Structure 1
Amino acid sequence: MILGHVAVGGFMTHCGWNSTLEAIAAGVVMATWPRFGDQFVNERLVVDVLRIGVAVGAKVPTLFVDEMSEKALVKGEEVRKVVEKVMQGGEEGDERRKRASVLSEKARKAIEVGGSSFENVKKIIQFAKGENKHLE
């Protein structure tokens, strides 16, 4: 509900899968700041594939370096630039927001009755209940 509020202009995320999906479903553009693990892959999806995010510039998983190491630090000036870019209008910002809105609509349709996510969850429940003859 918070991400979907009209006052939210962007979302700074660590790129965990749940927060990434929630932002996509809400149609919110993202400033991405991964810390470790799959978060770097999720960032590539958001920034390079879906093109609805701007990377803060984290390069090294903090799990493997001291968080105060020069390799792990993201400078405040870089964060400021990314937040401005996420919040900007203009052609680039408008296109980013338009893509986020389209993805949000697709996510909504997927969870409606008959949508792909709805149907797949229904199949999982049927399988768990032993009603899996149609899945063979």
Structure 2
Amino acid sequence: MLTSYTVKSKNSDNVWEFKYDLNGNLKAFKVLSGVLSNQQMIWFFRKGNFPVLESVIKTIWIPNLKQNFEITIGEPDLSFEAFWNSYGNKVGKRKETENKWTRLSKAEKLQVLSSIPKYNNYLKHYPKQQKQYPSTYLNQEAYKNDWKI
């Protein structure tokens, strides 16, 4: 049994995944989205910030890096149902939307799910704008938009 930590940058498209065994030892590290920059590699490896032990994520990363990173403990629910319920506008062709969802990468699914609250907030400020169908939101990659007001 492995414990997963998904680390998503708030300032870029970087998404990383760290997996630890029951003793808190690092078993896997994956870059799910983006590419480590030279500056990040220096910060990780030369400055000794790479979380080889789970305790580093728990005691240092989570409390101190909240302003720059969103850290999710455990496997996030990336099922189609999670998207469908979170999006809320259950219209259009469900099967077509589900097929598109299954073709997305794990990083894209994370990006979609984290963009929905921003999109909903954006729509609150523009009440005359109709919410996109879920299939349109995925097909047009609207989740990549910066939904700032």
Query: Could you say which TM-score interval applies, normalised by the shorter chain?
Result: under 0.3
TM value normalised by structure 1: 0.27
Structure in which a larger fraction of residues adopt helix: 1
TM value normalised by structure 2: 0.25
In our comparison, the structure showing a higher alpha carbon Rg is 1
Structure in which a larger fraction of residues adopt strand: 2
